[in-house]
Structure 1
Amino acid sequence: MPYDRNHPFNDLPLLPPVQDVEDIEILRKLVTASRALAGANSNVKRLPNPYMLINTVALQEAKTSTAIENIFTTEDDLYKAVSDTIKEDQANAGTKEVLRYREALWTGFKQIAGRGRLELDAVIAIFRQIKNSTAGIRAPQSLTTIRRGQSEFRSGEVIYTPPRGAGLLERLVENMLDYLNNDDKYTADPLIKMCVAHYQFEAIHPFADGNGRTGRIINLLYLVQKGLLDQPVLYLSKYIIVNKEDYYYHLGAVTQRGSWKPWIMYMLDAVEKTSSLTSQLISSILEQMEATLEHARTKIKWYNKEVNELLFSQPYIKPRMVGNLLNISSRTTLGKYFNEMVEAGLLHPAKDGKEVYYINSDLIAILQG
């Protein structure tokens, strides 16, 4: 039967796709995307402490992925929350959403490290972390539809009705996960599988909300699972938000016409371009770290590599962070140390009420560039 957007897409085909999705043009694009991804992962390995990326590259991915869903926060609010300059429960709604995305990403990363595969309970846990909810897979009676936004032409019009029915969503998600996990049965290249499974997850739309963000986290975790990324830090959402209309158009084309090739080409291009972007971002951070360390050592006697790494772990730094690192509890001593870093041009001070924190402007310039 022809696809009808006003009726549940219960005929969503199981994976793998019926048609061959690996023609010559796709395979050529796969080679360039794979090379770019390998280059980005090599740069990740250059970092002295990979967890530095939690509050730099991973935070940018979280912010942008959340913005795709029209949920926004400012860089300033986000950095304050990350540095504990403001408490998370005092943060605005947009900032809380971004922080939950970041935590969901790292929760999933730990589960992948422990199990070596994506499973349904992990997917549900990621969704719950994102939405701060105890909900799970949509109930059979849930009349979920995807409609045009209020700012769009023909606002409110139904553009897609995902599948619904007792046990159907669970079977579809389990099929998708089997496709990703079972390399003996499904032998496609991991990047091709990621592209195909991302469409499938968004088409299943297993949750009442938060499917886009959950799906984008699954992409990164799967790349980690297959050994293509050591850390889930690919800045994939940057490409999607810049090319948002194409993203939704190609998703719809698979649903309506089974048009897989343009969708896969789009996603492989996203991997290639954002791998290059992520690689450059990491290179810029490493180069600035080296330049800052070299400069600081000529100005500050006590300054060392560990403090330098801390200053590049997140854009806003509080004195107690350096105190904990150097085992210094004296406010007077810490005040002296931070004055020296300010005089050397490494940081500049700012206040939020009575709270004083210090900003690494060089790091912010890289992240916002």
Structure 2
Amino acid sequence: MQIEENGQGTLRNNLSGKLAYYSFFPTPLQSLRQLNLTEETYRTLSACSRKLGELEGMLYFVPNADMYLTMYARKEALLSSQIEGTQCTFDDLLSPSQTQLHHKDVADVVNYVRAVARGVELLKKMPLCTRLLRQVHAVLLDGVRGTEKNPGELRSSQNWIGPSGCTIATASFVPPNIEDLSNTLQDLERFINEPQVEMDPIVRAALVHYQFETAHPFLDGNGRLGRLLITLMLINDGVLHSCLFYPSFQFKKNRSEYYRQLTSVRERGTYEEWIEFFCNSLLESAKDSVGSLKNLVDLHNRSTATITENLGRTAANGQRLLGILEEHPIVDTAFIAAQLDIGRSTASSLVKSFEELGILRPLDESRQRYRQYGYEEYLSILREDAEPIR
């Protein structure tokens, strides 16, 4: 790694002889030179704050808001995991057949959802600190790929980033050595928890995400935890009150540029360009979240009206089924019968009615037994740009 010194950090010479290598020691965020953000970046920041405020405001008037938040948390988990190469789809994540988590990619995403919930819960009890992140990391890697890499424990050896099979000598980036890692995390913790009234919280989130990814404090899971940290920062700084959008939406769509921007800060100190990219990414993600929420609420209202107008005496059970579908949009007859506490034949008749109304659609026409059905319009809204990267 080569750098153009611009206040972003220094290269440390480690070991000697054939074992010698350079690691990167980032400048503490408190010591950064004055940021010179462009007028365009300030406009984007303002627009992003307004859009996130609009999203928060919408939730006060949305029925079953917690259910939509759960879906958004799942989508963020899926998108963030897909950036790392996970091949899980939204349908995989929601399918009843995956309840045993035999699909390793599904397990990764489910752990991410659990880790988000754990982080939000811990924020109510302690400051956003290394101890909190270690506990979240332990959930993230619990029983899945990477579980052999000390979940919840800071690395005690040098790691590096580069193409598969590369050595530390040929790596594209070598994070801080162990001594520098300790100092970097202490500085980062102070920056997070010391008020900086003059700095926009979205800018703070951008800088913290960069610094965490640069520190790479764990042996695995740093990318996913770093993106989860964005949401925790925004909650910590009062921008959000819950996980109500999916910031990884644009990072996944522009994955190469996302990585290039992070690398550029390390190599050339381009903090302003990174912040501009980060703000634009969050704005587009917030716009998509608002649009999706409007579409989901509109679909809820249309489906409710359709059930009321067409199902007569079974409309009550129909409305209960709609509520189940908004939490579990992929179902089978046995699942519906259990959830509604009705017989299999009654559940089967209800499914047939929902098929005729166009609400449910069989996912596999070739199967006669154990057939699954999807709330297709609902799924199509949530599937937007949520296909794996091939």
TM-score of the two chains, using structure 1 as the length reference: 0.87
Q: Distance in 1 between matches of 2:54 and 2:182?
A: 36
Task: Give 2:175's aligned residue.
Answer: 162
* Residue matched to 2:44: 29
Task: Measure, in 2, the Cα distance between the counterparts of 1:324 and 1:216.
Answer: 37
Q: 2:328 is matched with which residue?
A: 314
Match of 2:296 in 1: 285
Q: Does 1:206 align with 2:217?
A: yes
Higher deviation after alignment, 213-222 or 307-316:
307-316
1:116–1:225 contact (8 Å) kept in structure 2: no
* Mapped contact 1:85–1:318 kept (Cα < 8 A): no
2:94 is equivalent to residue 94 of structure 1: no
- Residues 51 and 116 (structure 1), Cα distance of their counterparts in 2 relative to 1, 3 Å cut: farther
Using the TM superposition, give the Cα deviation of residue 17 of structure 1 relative to its aligned residue in structure 2, in angstroms.
4.4
Provide the rounded CA distance (Å) in 1 between the counterparts of 2:200 and 2:349.
56
Q: Which runs of 5+ in 1 are unaligned?
A: none
Deviates more, 1:127-136 or 1:212-221: 127-136
**Post-superposition CA distance 1:188-208 (Å, at most 9, x none):** 221111011010000100001
2:362 aligned partner = 349
In the alignment, the residues of structure 2 paired with residue 32 and residue 272 of structure 1 have an alpha-carbon distance, to the nearest angstrom, of 7
Q: Tell me the distance in 2 between the aligned counterparts of 1:160 and 1:268.
A: 25
* Structure 1: distance between partners of 2:94 and 2:108: 14
- Deviations for 1:278-298, whole angstroms, at most 9, x for unmatched residues? 110111111111111111111
* Deviation larger for 187-196 or 269-278: 187-196
One-letter amino acid of the structure 2 residue matched with residue 44 of structure 1: L
Per-residue CA deviation, residues 313-350 of structure 1 (Å, 9 max, x unaligned), is 23213446555664x24223322322222222211234
Q: What is the alpha-carbon distance in structure 2 between the residues aligned to residue 178 and residue 199 of structure 1?
A: 15
Residue 87 of structure 2 is aligned with which of 64, 72, 76? 72
* Mapped partners of 1:149, 1:353: distance in 2: 45
| CA distance in 1: counterparts of 2:368 and 2:80, whole angstroms | 30
Q: Which amino acid counterpart does residue 151 of structure 2 have in structure 1?
A: A
Question: CA 1:227–1:49 in structure 2 vs 1: closer, same or farther (change >3 Å)?
Answer: farther
Q: Which amino acid aligns with 2:257?
A: D
C-alpha separation in 1, matches of 2:99 and 2:76: 21
For residues 79 and 195 of structure 1, what CA distance do their matches in structure 2 show? 31
Q: Any conservation in 1 of the 2:158–2:178 contact (CA below 8 Å)?
A: no
- Equivalence for 1:338: 351
- The answer to whether the aligner puts 1:294 opposite 2:294 as a matched pair is no
Distance 2:198 2:337 in 1: 52
User: Deviation of residue 366 (structure 1)?
Assistant: 1.2
Give how far 1:7 is off: 1.2
Which whole-Å CA distance do the structure 2 matches of 1:55 and 1:356 have between them? 25
1:75-114 C-alpha deviation (Å, 9 max, x unpaired): 332221xxx3333332x221111111111112212222x2
Q: Distance in 2 between matches of 1:325 and 1:93?
A: 27
1:264 equivalent in structure 2: 275
1:1-369 correspondence to structure 2 within 5 Å: 3-4=10-11, 6-9=21-24, 11-21=25-35, 23-25=37-39, 26-80=41-95, 84-90=96-102, 92-112=103-123, 114-115=124-125, 117-132=127-142, 133=147, 134-140=150-156, 142-149=157-164, 157-166=170-179, 168-183=180-195, 187-301=198-312, 302-304=314-316, 305-319=319-333, 322-323=336-337, 326=340, 328-350=341-363, 354-369=369-384
SS in 2 for 1:61: helix
RMSD: 2.7
- Once residues 333 and 264 of structure 2 are traced to their aligned partners in structure 1, the CA distance between those partners, rounded to angstroms, is 53
Distance 1:221 1:158, change over 3 A: same
Q: Distance in 2 between matches of 1:182 and 1:310?
A: 44
- Asked if the contact 1:37–1:271 (Cα under 8 Å) also holds between the matched residues in 2, the reply is no
Given that 1:202 and 1:211 are in contact with CA atoms closer than 8 Å, whether structure 2 keeps it comes out as: yes
Following superposition, which runs of at least 4 residues in structure 1 exceed 6 angstroms of deviation?
A: none
For 1:173 and 1:353, how far apart are their aligned partners in 2?
56
AA partner of residue 152 (structure 2): G
Distance in 2 separating the partners of 1:324 and 1:51 = 22
Contact 2:127 2:193 in 1 (8 A): yes
Q: Deviations over 1:234-254 (max 9, x none)?
A: 221120111112211211121
* Alignment partners' CA distance in 2, 1:139 and 1:215: 15
Q: Structure 1 residues 149 and 221, CA, compared in 2 at 3 Å: closer, same or farther?
A: same
Q: Which amino acid aligns with 1:172?
A: T
- Letter matched to residue 57 of structure 2: S
- If the length of structure 2 is used for normalisation, what is the TM-score? 0.82
Distance 1:303 1:171, change over 3 A: farther
Write the deviation string for residues 215-244 of structure 1: whole angstroms up to 9, x where unpaired: 111111221223322321322112011111
Q: Greater CA deviation, 237-246 or 71-80?
A: 71-80
Distance (whole Å) between structure 1 residues aligned to residue 119 and residue 154 of structure 2 = 21
